[in-house]
Amino acid sequence: MRVAVVAVGKIREKFWLEALREYEKRLSAYVDLEMVEVADEPDRDEMSPGEVEALLSREADRIERWLRPRDGVIALDIDGEALSSEAWSERYDRLCAAGYGRLVFVVGGSRGLHPRIKRRAAFRWSFGPITLPHALARVVLLEQLYRGIRILRGEPYHK
């Protein structure tokens, strides 16, 4: 399966990059993985709703440049569906069988994702109501993708 992760913002910390590389290496036995970072927008603590909308729209424009018509988009969204690892594995299996050209996981910036990206999503996935640093969310995403594939294949990883 072809899989892409399109994430807003650049990771600079070595320890996060090392964790991502480890899961990219593990996943390479199962999927053709592409990792894409798109620029985030300058953000301020105090922004009007219109300013936030404009920020999210500009980030969405950058995300959409990487999306193709036949992609199955999975948006990481705090308001999405939270799944156990086993349920995620089953959902991944259904997404793979749905005939998409590739699965594209989208990780938004600090303000989340624009509604048009959420509407485009075949599935909106939540890691629960907690707030994660975006770099950690990417690591959790790759780990859960790897774990879900291993569960699906009946391979010894899930504990």
Digit-by-digit pLDDT tens for the chain (159 residues) are 999 999 999 999 999 999 999 999 999 999 999 999 999 998 888 999 999 999 999 999 999 999 999 999 999 999 999 999 999 999 999 999 999 999 999 999 989 999 999 999 999 999 999 888 989 999 999 999 999 999 999 998 755
Confirm or deny that 83 is annotated as ligand binding: no
Closest listed residue to residue 121, CA positions, set 79, 62, 58: 79
Confirm or deny that 78 is annotated as ligand binding: no
Confirm or deny that 27 is annotated as ligand binding: no
Residue with token string 């993985």: 33
pLDDT for the residue 78 = 93
pLDDT for the residue 157 = 74
Global confidence as pTM: 0.95
pLDDT for the residue 131 = 87
Query: Between the CA of residue 55 and those of 39, 62, 84, 95, 135, what are the distances in Å?
Result: 11, 11, 32, 30, 20
pLDDT for the residue 158 = 58
**Which residue segments constitute the domains of the chain, with CATH numbers given?**
2-153 (3.40.1280.10)
Residue with token string 């303000």: 111
Confirm or deny that 129 is annotated as ligand binding: yes
CB 120 within 8 A of CB 97: no
